[in-house]
Amino acid sequence: MSDTLEDAFLDHLTGNAAFTATSTVYLGLSTNNSGFMDNGGGAEVVGGSYSRQAISFGAATTTSISNNSPISFPRSTAGQGTVVGWGIFSAQSGGYLLYHGYFTNSRAILIDESFQVPTGAISITRSGALTQTTFQNWANLTLRNTAWTMPSVLYLALSRAGASIGPASNAITMDGVLFDEPRWHDHSDLSVQQSSATPDKVNARKRSGLINGSSETYGGYQRSRLVYHSASNGTAALDYSVTRDDGRWYNDQARNGNWDTTNNRRQNLGATTYRKWTDRAEFPIVSTMGQTVGGAGAYVNGYAAVTYYSVHSWANYAVVNGASVIQTTAYTPAAGAQYGTITGWGVFDAERPYTGNLLISGAFSSNIVATGSKDVVRIPASSLTLQVA
């Protein structure tokens, strides 16, 4: 991609500015040994009846996109030099450079000759951290004017794929990438426990500090929201990240143990807290402190108030005749009690684990071992800079 398109891509991906495609793109020829270069420089053919020609592309696959018909340049009325490289432009004259590259072999255009480009000769392929869907959407948008709605939010997710992580594994293939996020609180119904819930899911719910209310729903492992500055020179730096914490207290208030009658809980206990970081992305601590949610006569979707115990072990609860009673003996979680060994990362356009589109992904240079009950995973802001190479 050109310098101009690199910034446009990053701004579109990060939700800063939607890219507006042109209805037609044009192929230009360069006689410079460096082709058109990222900045759009390089000697374009001039004179001899030369003009850029419209180029059309077939639908992108998950790995590449190429021109779907041959291109013929006007027969030269004078020698035009030796063609080395090609560029795709937004206009037949002027405009800006989108993509550029080199022909397999250079070729001199003499007088009374027509430069021909066969079908499939101009090809752009996926590389780096781009996922299949992101590449397809971006290639189709820029070269075929096929709409791709700009992502409105971004979330960083962690993956344990490839690590030895035990029974809590929930690995699935997302956009061709094996992804295994740590266990999380399934907040869809706000229930403390269901008769059909597995122990691991109960574990996730209990450690998450579920509270009475539809808007404050979960803590524990959750994806971390990322907000980026506008791109410059092919780079987008992190502006800030947001962690939905497990809510022991609001981080802009003193700890308060008074009773909250609205939510039937101790104030600042069990509340969902947004923590804003400018120097990192942080994932919530897997809590170990017990806490009681609700009070006498208080229910969460029909379930009586319960105490959330340490992640090391606790009793599972059920509701019998309107009262909270111990259903089983103490359950000691295994791999579900901690993050596990983190091997990779992904950026999604949705907050809830295993949902949304995976936009970019990759592996950490070394694994992050977060197997302690109070471990927290922190990724420095410098490691979250997006750069188009």
Does pLDDT of 281 surpass 90?
yes
Does pLDDT of 359 surpass 90?
yes
Rounded distance, CA 113 to CA 188, Å? 67
Domain limits, the chain: 20-128, 154-387
Does pLDDT of 349 surpass 80?
yes
pLDDT of 94 reads 93
| Mean pLDDT, all residues of the chain | 76
pLDDT of 285 reads 59
pLDDT of 354 reads 79
| Mean local confidence (pLDDT), 354-361 | 92
| pLDDT greater at residue 327 or residue 280 | 280
Q: How confident is the model at residue 257 (pLDDT cuts 50, 70, 90)?
A: low
| Mean local confidence (pLDDT), 358-372 | 89
Cβ atoms of 166 and 351 closer than 8 Å:
no
Helices (H) and strands (E) in the chain, counts: 3, 28
Question: At residue 116, what are phi and psi to the nearest 5 degrees?
Answer: -115, 140
Q: Could you tell me what percent of the chain has a pLDDT over 70?
A: 66
DSSP state of 335: G
| Mean local confidence (pLDDT), 243-256 | 50
Torsion angle of the four alpha carbons 150, 155, 160, 166, in this order, in degrees rounded to the nearest 10:
-120
Does pLDDT of 260 surpass 50?
yes
pLDDT tens for each residue of 116-159: 999 999 999 999 999 999 999 999 999 999 999 999 999 999 99
Tokens of residue 156, six digits: 């960083």
Does pLDDT of 309 surpass 90?
no
Does pLDDT of 97 surpass 70?
yes
Q: Tell me the Ramachandran region of residue 304: left when phi exceeds 0, alpha when psi lies from -120 to 50, beta otherwise.
A: beta
| pLDDT greater at residue 171 or residue 12 | 12
Q: How confident is the model at residue 277 (pLDDT cuts 50, 70, 90)?
A: confident
Does pLDDT of 216 surpass 60?
no
pLDDT of 239 reads 96
Cβ atoms of 379 and 281 closer than 8 Å:
yes
How many other C-beta atoms lie within 10 A of the C-beta of residue 316?
A: 18
Q: How confident is the model at residue 317 (pLDDT cuts 50, 70, 90)?
A: very low
Q: Sign of torsion, CA 147 148 150 153?
A: positive
Does pLDDT of 8 surpass 50?
yes
Does pLDDT of 29 surpass 70?
yes
Torsion angle of the four alpha carbons 326, 330, 333, 337, in this order, in degrees rounded to the nearest 10:
70
Cβ atoms of 271 and 247 closer than 8 Å:
yes
| pLDDT greater at residue 297 or residue 224 | 224
Does pLDDT of 85 surpass 90?
yes
How many other C-beta atoms lie within 10 A of the C-beta of residue 212?
A: 20
Does pLDDT of 283 surpass 70?
yes
Q: How confident is the model at residue 333 (pLDDT cuts 50, 70, 90)?
A: very low
| pLDDT greater at residue 372 or residue 22 | 22
Does pLDDT of 210 surpass 60?
no
Does pLDDT of 48 surpass 60?
yes
